[in-house]
Amino acid sequence: MWLMGRSAALLLYVCLLSLRAQSPDDPEVLQARARLEKLRVQAAAGAVPRKQLEKAEEQMADAQDAALLRKTIYAQDLTAEQADEMIAAAGRRLARREKAFDEARALVDSGIAPELSLSTAMDDLRMAKKEYDLAESRAALVRQLAEMARAEEALETRMARQPSEVHELAERYEGDGVFAANEFPKIDAAFEQRFGKPLPVSAMGETAVHRALGFDHRGRVDVALYPDTPEGTWLRDYLRARRIPFFAFRQAVPGKATGAHIHIGPMSTRLRPGA
């Protein structure tokens, strides 16, 4: 939901990508692989130059990166490892477009090609930059969610070992002990009416990050607000008034990534093996 704050251009780009979603056998990858295998046979026979084969190998790698991005960049749920792979793929595609533009510019500067010939390379470069920005935005959200999940894990550990120090890490409010799913739209609507923007939700229910850390996050919502800001204070007061349980995390590890957020609902429980 934090992507709502991104530019219209990035959101449009998500829509364009979704129209080309990756299938189990991605057509672009299959096409690039067929072309590469054909050229390898021809190169072995000396029928095509090595440079042409290298170009086909690069196109194959680019098609694989594009397929990975179509699978991850607008996916509903990502792990931290998938987010890293997404960023790496977007970075490689951007580097290829920068190289292609530099080569096209060199041809224009040397008088071999007209200035107009740069337009295609420039358009490809702009799209690659938008693609990378979007991947960065998605990855940042995944990283932040991982920090929040680790904050909850750290609190659970501290509660067991040093219960007297828990308050400095988080505020715990038990309320009625339950949080019904139909209550969240009311919370979100009240927040938007008060602050003119929707709640910055980072995790709505179960996520791949929580599963990877062994937490059952179903029926819980994480909101990326520092508890002591005006928005965070308002949300805590709102939840208390309605006896909705929450945990307001101020920090996870002093001096490191904070993972500050407000967790609406009971504390996440540990997943049972095989759950």
Give 215-272 pLDDT, tens digit per residue.
Answer: 778 888 989 898 999 999 999 999 999 999 998 887 654 444 457 889 998 877 665 5
Task: Give the C-alpha distances (Å, rounded to integers) separating 70 from 18, 116, 138, 187, 257.
Answer: 7, 30, 13, 33, 30
Q: How many Å separate Cα 214 from the centre of its chain?
A: 20
Percent share of the chain, pLDDT over 90 = 35
Q: Report domain extents, the chain.
A: 2-144, 146-270
The reported pLDDT for the residue numbered 5 is 41
Write down the pLDDT at residue 66. Answer: 92
Residue 18 has pLDDT above 80, yes or no: no
Q: Say whether pLDDT at 20 is over 70.
A: no
DSSP string for 53-80 = HHHHHHHHHHHHHHHHHHHHTT-S---H
Q: What is residue 271's predicted lDDT score, i.e. its pLDDT?
A: 59
Does residue 26 register a pLDDT over 70? Answer: yes
Bigger pLDDT: 260 vs 90: 90
Instruction: Answer yes or no: are the C-beta atoms of 59 and 35 closer than 8 Å.
Output: yes
Amino acid 252: pLDDT? 52
Residue 12's pLDDT band (cuts 50, 70, 90): very low
**Single pTM value for the model:** 0.62
The residues, any chain, with a CB within 8 Å of residue 83's CB and separated by 6 or more, are 72, 138, 139, 142, 143
Residue 172 φ then ψ, to 5°: -115, 125
68: tokens are: 């990975």
Indicate the pLDDT class of residue 11, thresholds 50, 70 and 90: very low
pLDDT of 188 strictly over 90: yes
Name the E strands within the chain. 170-173, 201-204, 215-216, 221-223, 246-249, 261-264, 269-270
**pLDDT digits over 123-139, tens only?**
999 999 999 999 998 88
The answer to whether 61 and 33 have CB atoms below 8 angstroms apart is no
